[in-house]
Amino acid sequence: MKFGIIGSGSWATALAKILTDNNHSINWWIRNNDTIGHITQRRHNPHYLSAAYFNNSLLNMSSSLEYIVEQSDILLVAVPSAYVDDALSGLNTDALKGKKIVSAIKGILPGCNLLLNEYLAQNFNVDINDYFAVLGPCHAEEVAAEKLSYLTFSGIDEETACAIAKHFNTDYLNTVVNHDIMGVQYAAILKNIYALGAGIAHGLEYGDNFLSVYIANSADEMVRFLRKARLDDEREVINYAASAYLGDLLVTCYSLYSRNRTFGNMIGKGYSVKVAQLELNMVAEGYNASKCIHLKNSELGVHLPIADTVYNVLWEHLPATKAFNKIETLLV
């Protein structure tokens, strides 16, 4: 299997580290030639996870996406969801034919309000059986520090998902496989919204007791949505307490590495959305996701009072204090 990575942010860099630590040669699309030059000369990404060093003999880097796609059998898409369309727009519609696609993004494409698999099906005729997602409670910073983490590889074709996952097993990374391709993607999107809300609560100086109740209710709300959004038999029992669901929600709500929690914390402290975005200088997926889920739920009709309230704070200018006074009355 020849792996290609699309993107050069923190998560793309972490995935590159995992594969090269397993002695895999990788094809790596990096838009900026200066970044390629820096990695070539100094063996680390100057902008993200700069403590992670690479064996350059295992890196085939290029700013030509067409070249990287041609050279790869499996493509890991690891750019923020808001930039996916821009990144892939230059490819021919048949460029992904015969490729396995692994989504490493945790958001809906905001321009079209589609999951990545839906976008790829519409624009590149990618079949759902050739599509996989890698998700879980796995901050890039802890991967760089080689702290034990867990990743879930999901795909309808579980056999291929398992084969892909084996290439990511290391001393510091364990892999899990499931087939709930729609559920894990929506879980990754929703947990960012709830983490942003957890950050708002922290900024408003709520304590850990409140946050624990808030997160427990968020988990319950998330499961209601996932059951409605499932691609396959809704009667099948899914372990929503597993790492790709509850585990990812917990770490994103609590961890200081969580950019969504950090973004929300600034909103809770009184920053405007614009100022918080400038201050963070990174993409908080929960911001666009809150609007995307709001629109998606207009079709599904799931009761999502917490996600709706976060949306109202970010997009409808509802004051954070007033919003959380309302949330207080909803929690059980």
Instruction: Give 223-250 pLDDT, tens digit per residue.
Output: 999 998 875 555 577 899 899 999 999 9
Average pLDDT, the chain: 93
Which domains are seen in the chain, by residue range?
3-179 (3.40.50.720), 182-330 (1.10.1040.10)
> What local confidence, expressed as pLDDT, does residue 83 receive?
92
Instruction: Give 93-151 pLDDT, tens digit per residue.
Output: 999 999 999 999 988 998 899 999 999 999 999 999 999 999 999 889 999 899 999 99
Q: Residue type at 63? A: S
The kind and range of the H/E element at 176 are: strand 173-178
Instruction: Look at residues 291, 293, 156 and name the one whose alpha carbon lies nearest to residue 232.
Output: 156
Give the neighbor-by-neighbor strand order of the sheet with 26-29: 59-62, 26-29, 3-6, 74-77, 100-103, 131-135, 149-154, 173-178
> What local confidence, expressed as pLDDT, does residue 237 receive?
78
CA distance 267 to 281: 15
> What local confidence, expressed as pLDDT, does residue 235 receive?
57
* pLDDT higher at 219 or 106: 219
Place of tokens 């892909």: 164
> What local confidence, expressed as pLDDT, does residue 238 receive?
87
Classified as helix, coil or strand, 237 is coil
Instruction: Give 247-293 pLDDT, tens digit per residue.
Output: 999 999 999 889 899 999 999 999 998 898 888 877 788 899 999 99
Instruction: Give 174-214 pLDDT, tens digit per residue.
Output: 999 999 999 999 999 999 999 999 999 999 999 999 999 99
User: Mean pLDDT, to the nearest integer, of 310-315?
Assistant: 97
> What local confidence, expressed as pLDDT, does residue 236 receive?
72
> What local confidence, expressed as pLDDT, does residue 283 receive?
72
* Beta carbons within 8 Å of 191's beta carbon, 6+ residues apart: 106, 222, 248, 249, 252, 253
